Copies of this chain bind each other. A is one copy, B any other.
Amino acid sequence: MTIYKAPLDDQRFALFDVLGAESILTKLEGGEGHTRDLLDAVIEEAGRLSEALLAPFNASGDAEGCVYDKVAQTVTTPKGFKEAFKAFAEGGWTGLTQAEHFGGQGLPNTVGTATTEIFQSGNLSWSLYPLLSEGACHAMELHGTQEQQDTYLKPIVEGRWTGTMCLTEPQAGSDLGLLKTRADAGENGSWKITGTKIFISAGEHDLAENIIHLVLARLPDAPAGSRGISMFIVPKFKVNADGSLGARNAVAAGAIEHKMGLKGSATCVMNFDAAEGYLIGQPHKGLAAMFTMMNAARLGVGVQGLALSERALQNSLNYARERLQGRSLSGVKFPEKPADNLLVQPDVRRMLLTQRAIVEGCRTLLLYTSLQTDVEARGADEATRKTASDLVAFLIPIAKGVVTELAQESTKEALQVYGGHGYIGENGVEQFVRDARIITLYEGTTGIQAADLLGRKILQLQGAGFKVFAKEIQAFCQQHAQDPAMAGLIGPLASYTKEWADLTLSLAQRVMASPEELGAAANDYLYYSGYITLAYMWARSVAALANSSQQEAFKQAKRDTAKFYFARILPRCLLHKAAIDAGVETLPAIG
């Protein structure tokens, strides 16, 4: 079956050597204790847990799937899931990045991203259960009353309960303004929630005692469209004043979806039948409240792309090393064996280097972005926090949109390395491809990310984050302009960054004159931006080698992969620029 070993060395390199996470995090408010030693211990422990309790149940969880009982309306998760969740909760992982006054560990998002990668690599389906809880906690932390937090948030942080986010309805997906679920006045200021939600991850399961749904619905006096949506807390079991579980609420899973992959994750149709709910946050401001969770959720899905790509890479590299087939074009390399291994083939190395360039570049980007979310939350002063916030806003659609799309390519190449054997279930790699296919769809499709980047982050916010980021890259290029170790990297990076700035400006003007140009350019602008962003991450990685204590083989692999990235991936910008320049006139009406 498949192997998995947590990539601790590369995480450490990215965190400490490339990004200087220790010096940044320890200077944040309340971050004194967040030293390299502590973070190191956390990721090591995450690695042990994932390797022992999650990774072994990934393939079996795919084969078993979740089982829905139509009569009882219950969901049974696959073998191993319950035990892993128990160990996870007992280890304090459910509250890793939650505030200490809610019972959490108060650790930075940055280390949360690193450990989330490890857990998701181990078992993506399983990891959806804690991930959704995290989003629900975040919403209650920001918008809940003290009482709501005490009642609903703390048990989730403790890992006794889990949470969901109930947005989508059959007729309302990307366009939440169309949603119909309604809230009618109930007793004691509560609301009666009625409607059907679909695609609800972790909507029903057997891992925890209670499930707290955060539900978008319309109050009786709600205006039409997206400005008439409010958020409600709807618990599966009502909660007594002493915190114990009360009566079953009128919310239940009506079915689970049969999906292409992610089969261990219960994707539920949730029926609300005048279920008792409690308004959280302001009336009609539910969408805005939901959006405050969006950055974390989207970053988390980006991490899923990294996690699947990492595990697929480990396996395909292993396969290429062990599979004996054919001979090297430049002469036999394993004369004592019936054939050479696949690594002697340059085209197989191309597939592996493509994966490695994606995996390690995306890891650096996701950790970089996570660091900025920590600075945004706990930076020393308002200006620092504002700058970080601008950067985060700008980078999220790239970290979600581009990383998840590249994960499609990366897992595809991993499967391709196996030849026909990749298509067979028992070799395990095809599951990574099936599991990966969801991530460009949920938490906003790639098209939504692209529109967010160009429409909101560049145009509406006047490119605030882009300006900060481009300036940072330019400063980096100046700093390393004469560094011989950076030859071949700084030149292209600097000129692409210049072109990016020019293109962004001219595109913004074009879109303001003709709004359809936004949709015509957004996808290619997303990719274009992503490839330059990853080029910067690769250049940073090479620059960091000088003062890194990693082994020489590790360093050589970094240099090789960076060179590969600049020579064979970064030129994709040529294509995307051509497509951007082509404009909306090349996308005429379709009958």
Residue ranges of A at the interface with B (Cβ–Cβ < 8 Å) = 168, 171-175, 178, 199, 257-261, 317, 320, 324-326, 328-330, 338-339, 343, 345-350, 352-353, 408, 412, 415-416, 419-426, 430, 433-434, 437-438, 440-442, 445-447, 450-451, 514-516, 518-520, 522-523, 553, 557, 560, 563-564, 567-568, 571-572, 574-575, 578-579, 582, 584, 586-591
Contact = CB atoms under 8 A, between A and B. Distances in A.
A426 B516 contact: no
A437 B347 CA distance: 19
A485 to B, nearest CB: 17
A105 to B, nearest CB: 33
B520 A350 contact: yes
A415 B324 CA distance: 36
Contacts of A451: 347
A419 B176 CA distance: 14
A68 to B, nearest CB: 14
Nearest to A431: B260
17 contacts: A257-B425, A258-B426, A260-B425, A260-B434, A329-B515, A329-B516, A343-B589, A346-B518, A346-B520, A346-B584, A347-B451, A348-B447, A349-B588, A350-B587, A420-B441, A564-B586, A567-B579
Nearest to A574: B574
Contacts of A440: 416
A590 B346 contact: no
Which among A326, A425, A450 has the greatest number of chain B C-beta atoms within 10 A? Answer: A326
A199 B420 contact: yes
A588 B575 contact: no
Contacts of A579: 567-568, 571
Contacts of A259: 423-425, 430
Contacts of A175: 325-326, 339
B349 A590 contact: yes
Contact of A338 (B178, B424, B516): B178
Contacts of A168: 420
A329 B519 contact: yes
Nearest to A352: B590
Chain A contact residues, majority secondary structure = helix
B437 A415 contact: yes
Contact of A571 (B421, B575, B589): B575
Contacts of A522: 347
Contacts of A339: 175, 178
Contacts of A422: 441
Contact of A260 (B433, B520, B567): B433
A426 B259 CA distance: 8
Contacts of A442: 420
A178 B423 CA distance: 21
Contact of A519 (B172, B346, B584): B346
A424 B257 contact: yes
Given A171-B324, A419-B173, A437 B430 contact: yes
Contacts of A330: 514-516
Nearest to A353: B587
Contacts of A523: 347, 350
A582 B560 CA distance: 13
A388 B437 CA distance: 41
A419 B170 CA distance: 12
A519 B516 CA distance: 43
Contacts of A564: 586-587
A523 B346 CA distance: 10
B586 A430 contact: no
B553 A582 contact: no
Contacts of A572: 575
Given A433-B260, A441-B420, A590 B353 contact: yes
Contacts of A320: 590
A444 to B, nearest CB: 10
Contacts of A516: 328-330, 346
A437 B446 contact: no
Contacts of A563: 586
B582 A258 contact: no
Which among A328, A348, A424, A553 has the greatest number of chain B C-beta atoms within 10 A? Answer: A424
A173 B587 contact: no
B557 A582 contact: no
A534 to B, nearest CB: 15
10 smallest beta-carbon distances between A and B, as pairs: A346-B519, A571-B578, A567-B582, A574-B574, A260-B430, A346-B520, A329-B515, A567-B586, A258-B425, A175-B326
A455 to B, nearest CB: 8
A366 to B, nearest CB: 22
A581 to B, nearest CB: 8
A426 B198 CA distance: 14
Contacts of A591: 553, 557
